[in-house]
Structures are given as structure tokens and as C-alpha cells.
Chains A and B, each alone.
Chain A
């Protein structure tokens, strides 16, 4: 069974840092592109970041560029999102998700259950 399990969501003050993790199981981690998507409470989905299969290519939405960093550890089947200098507007449930198909940039076909990040003073 394909599983993605996020962790690391906490309450944090503006300007603080935290790291989210997503451990996957049930499939071979290495050949897949992964994403982070977030959803503020009661609002819609926002695509945040992408990393390709070997970690050499990454992309970010403009509002997090320079503050967030996506990475992966293929030996541990784990995806990460480092959040630095967080802002109130970063408050959201953060989902990790897999792209459909090996070595493929495609729609997001498997999702974790999400982890909540709350930024407040």
C-alpha cells in the first residue's frame, strides 16, 4: 500500500524555523518527483514546491522562494521541507504528494494526510 506520512508541524512564532518530513512506503522512492502543497484553514490548495527524482532540480512558488527549501534523502525514503523566516500567512496544513509515474512530471496521484503549521505570536 502506498503511504506518505508527514510530520513536523508545530506552532511557531513569526521569523522562526521548522522542518517538515514526509516518509513514504509501499513503493520505490527514488524514481519519483515529489511536491509540497499547502492549504490554509478553510481555504483552497496552494502548490508550494517540487523536487525531481535525484534532487538536482527544485522549484518554489514565489511567496516562499528564498525562505523554504525542499530536499530528499533517497536512502531514507524521506522528503523534507525546511521553512525559515516563517510568516503568519504560512499557517496551513502542509501535504506531501507524489507525481504520477516514474521519472515523470505529472499530476499528483498520492497524498499524505497533512501536517499543520501554525504561525502566531
Chain B
């Protein structure tokens, strides 16, 4: 099973600033990595797939990148709806398609 490790657990950022979230896979997953945002009491929402492709309707302030087994999600100009929990998930080869443990982005 591929283990996905996210860091940091909590990220404190001021509105309007940049947030950079990290996710590391325990082995190569190619670019088969997705990011989700989950607000309290809601289902997750797909933000990014194939590591750097924005899902439909996702604003351009979200961007994804990767190098080897390290992935990043960058959010430029944080808005109120962006203060939430973010999860990465690999979608590589055969399941299980494991999630990271999540990063909470909170207001500084």
C-alpha cells in the first residue's frame, strides 16, 4: 500500500496571502495525484488531478506541481472559503488509492 504523507498538519495563513501545502508518496505514483478541499460539514471537492490539472470550475489561484514523489498545492491570495482541510490522494495503478492525513489551513 502506498502511504501518502501531508505536511504541515496545520498551516496558519492570513487572508490574501499564499499557502503552500505538501504531500509525499512512499513510492512513485507518477503524476497520478489529486487534491481535494473539504469544508466543515461538507463532502470533499476535487481541486486538482494529474498533479497539476485544475478540475472544472476551480479558480486559477490554485496550482499544483510535483517532483518525483513530492507534490505541492499552492493557493495564491487565500479567500475565506479556502480556510478548510485539504487532502491529497494518489490514483496510481491498482487500488487502494490512499489519502493523506490532511492539512488544515486556518486563519492566522
With A107-B34, A112-B43 given, is the CB distance from A100 to B55 under 8 Å? yes
Chain B: interface residue total (CB-CB under 8 A): 25
With A45-B87, A112-B43, A113-B43 given, is the CB distance from A107 to B49 under 8 Å? yes
Cα–Cα distance between A106 and B87 once the two chains are bound (Å):
16
The residues in A between 42 and 101 inclusive whose CB is less than 8 angstroms from any CB of B are 44-47, 50, 59-62, 95, 100
- Tell me the nearest residue of chain B to A108, going by C-beta: B46
**Interface residue ranges, B against A (CB under 8 Å):** 1, 34, 36, 38, 43-46, 49-50, 55-56, 85, 87, 89, 91, 94-102
Closest 7 CB pairs of A and B: A107-B34, A107-B49, A59-B95, A111-B43, A45-B99, A61-B96, A44-B102
- Which of A59, A60, A107, A109 is B89 in contact with, Cβ under 8 Å? A107
**Interface residue ranges, A against B (CB under 8 Å):** 35, 37, 44-47, 50, 59-62, 95, 100, 105-109, 111-114
Q: Are A47 and B101 in contact (CB under 8 A)?
A: no
Provide a sorted-by-A list of 17 A–B residue pairs whose CB atoms are within 8 angstroms.
A35-B97, A37-B44, A45-B89, A45-B102, A46-B99, A47-B97, A50-B95, A59-B95, A59-B96, A60-B95, A61-B96, A62-B96, A107-B46, A107-B49, A108-B36, A108-B46, A111-B43
